Amino acid sequence: TIRFSRNRSLETKFYQVIVIKILCDICFSDKDYENAIKYYSEAVDLNPSNAIYYSNRSLAYLRTECYGYALADATKALEIDKNYIKGYYRRATSNMALGKFKAALKDYETVVRVRPNDKDAKMKYQECNKIVKQKAFERAIASDEIKKSVVDSLDIENMTIEDDYVGPKLEDGTITLTFMKEMMDWFKDQKKLHRKCAYQILVQVKDVLSKLPSLVEITLKETEKITICGDTHGQYYDLLNIFKLNGLPSETNPYLFNGDFVDRGSFSLEVILTLFGFKLLYPENFHLLRGNHETDNMNQMYGFEGEVKAKYTAQMFQLFSEVFQWLPLAQCMNNKVLVMHGGLFSEDGVTLDDLRKIERNRQPPDSGRLIFQMQHESKSGVSCQFGPDVTERFLEQNKLDFIVRSHEVKAEGYEVTHSGKCITVFSAPNYCDQMGNKGAYIHLRGSDLKPEFHQFTAVPHPNVKPMAYANTLMQLGMM
């Protein structure tokens, strides 16, 4: 750690700026975005009127998926220098990631106006315009009629499985452990599950999930232990590795996966079908919570929709979307430990009863509602963090010991903050093939409810890059 003196002469200030600039470059080439953010903040502190520092810190925030902060910095850069083109790109990227497509379009428009011969800018403008139009179209239909379930238009019974299909099949329409093992091996060899089986899983899991409350409450007995995993993001081979290290799910080896199963990683279908399969096999001992990536906007941008369309059909994606809306939002263990994907809320005074009452069968609204905050822990999309005071008050009011959340990549796979009262767990090691982070999972025992951390590193996967199915805007390196 380098400490910078606050007592600055012009000369030391000059050298400090150079040192910080070098440190920032090193951090960026090491993909150490957390430290890059720290040093850019020093640079902003030294020279608050330089648009480049804000713009670069915005990029670092984009890389760590703190889109609200990225948006604020890009906006600040443009306030300082309204001709700074990169600022428009970064603000557009932030807005896209936050699902604010119209705002993003405005910035692409500006770039195209300023640089009429820039082909790349033109393409991004057109891509974004397409999304805005599509969204408007979807809204128009949605308000016309109550959306019918895809399930009603399926005739699964009469789907035939061709004779040349030698992959796993459900036994009399039921998931068995044998089926699960065969399916995991089948996926491992990059083979496709028959669409009939995929539909059977989806229809059955929708039924199971829709009967669960928004806040799932379970009790671990003295002798029982549960494993809590964070984001898996389509990293199927790392999921298999978790099962190898920690044992397959079973009635005596329960799991809780805390959201963000899909997107980014290009084996999202394999991950989600495996998780849904185990949910059906052990409904009481295998738990799934909704993350911010179990939503239409995210799936459209970050690959899951593209992946389902490439491997199956648009109709199957519609069914996934329906199923995702029924995933519970939070889980409480022994009335003491609360798990949810994003973390706590911007408003004070939220009670467990408020969580129980959330009607979750919907896409998250743009802002202001608990369901959205649970997934983004955001103050109007800007905050990445909630403070220890928020955690303290929430725990006290609800008589809880600590909370477990996920959602943010951590170098060690987990992080303990707020004096042990807020724990982050992330289970996608070497996230997106480039973050170099460890993955982790937590053991929680009924006897003492003390979190016990286990770390692991990434395993190799077949040569399909992350984001292979993502929206072209995301693939083009629009950052």
Comparing CB distances to Mn ion, the nearer of 179 and 304 is 304
Indicate the length of the chain as a whole number.
479
Least distance in Å: CB of 260 to Mn ion?
Answer: 4
Comparing CB distances to Mn ion, the nearer of 90 and 407 is 407
Binder of Mn ion out of 260, 263, 322, 377 (CB under 5 A): 260
Comparing CB distances to Mn ion, the nearer of 87 and 291 is 291
Residues 272-291 that bind Mn ion (CB under 5 A): 291
Residues 31-60 that bind Mn ion (CB under 5 A): none
Nearest-CB residue for Mn ion = 407
Q: Does 427 bind Mn ion (CB under 5 A)?
A: no
- Tell me how far apart the alpha carbons of residues 305 and 268 are, in angstroms, rounded to a whole number: 10
Find how far residue 365's CA is from the centre of its chain: 17
Q: Does 305 bind Mn ion (CB under 5 A)?
A: no
Assess contact for 53 and 40: CB atoms under 8 A. yes
Query: DSSP string spanning 76-111?
Result: HHHHH-TT-HHHHHHHHHHHHHTT-HHHHHHHHHHH
Least distance in Å: CB of 302 to Mn ion?
Answer: 10
Interhelix angle 101-114/119-144, rounded to 10 degrees, is 150
Q: How many CA atoms lie within 13 A of 432 on its CB side?
A: 15
Task: Give the bridge partners for 331, in sequence order.
Answer: 216, 339
Q: Specify the 3-state DSSP secondary structure of 130.
A: helix
How many residues make contact with Mn ion (CB under 5 A)? 4
Task: Give the bridge partners for 414, in sequence order.
Answer: 425
Least distance in Å: CB of 427 to Mn ion?
Answer: 12
Least distance in Å: CB of 420 to Mn ion?
Answer: 22
Alpha carbon distances (Å) from 437 to 112, 212, 215, 407, 429: 37, 34, 30, 14, 5
User: Which residue intervals of 254-412 are DSSP H helices?
Assistant: 268-281, 296-302, 304-311, 314-324, 352-356, 370-376, 388-398
Q: Does 292 bind Mn ion (CB under 5 A)?
A: yes
- Tell me how far apart the alpha carbons of residues 30 and 36 are, in angstroms, rounded to a whole number: 10
Least distance in Å: CB of 81 to Mn ion?
Answer: 32
Comparing CB distances to Mn ion, the nearer of 63 and 194 is 63
Token look-up 């809780």 returns 256
Residues 381-420 that bind Mn ion (CB under 5 A): 407
Least distance in Å: CB of 353 to Mn ion?
Answer: 25
Does 293 qualify as catalytic in the annotation?
yes
- Tell me how far apart the alpha carbons of residues 439 and 431 are, in angstroms, rounded to a whole number: 9
Comparing CB distances to Mn ion, the nearer of 55 and 292 is 292
> Which one from 194, 233, 293, 418 is the annotated catalytic residue?
293
Ramachandran bin of 77, using left for φ above 0, alpha for ψ from -120 to 50, beta for the remaining angles: alpha
Least distance in Å: CB of 180 to Mn ion?
Answer: 26
Segment near Mn ion (CB under 5 A); pick from 174-182, 254-262, 364-372, 432-440: 254-262
Comparing CB distances to Mn ion, the nearer of 285 and 325 is 325
Comparing CB distances to Mn ion, the nearer of 282 and 302 is 302
Q: Residue 220: phi, psi to the nearest 5? A: -95, 130
Interface positions with Mn ion (CB under 5 A): 260, 291-292, 407
Q: Which residues are annotated as catalytic?
A: 293
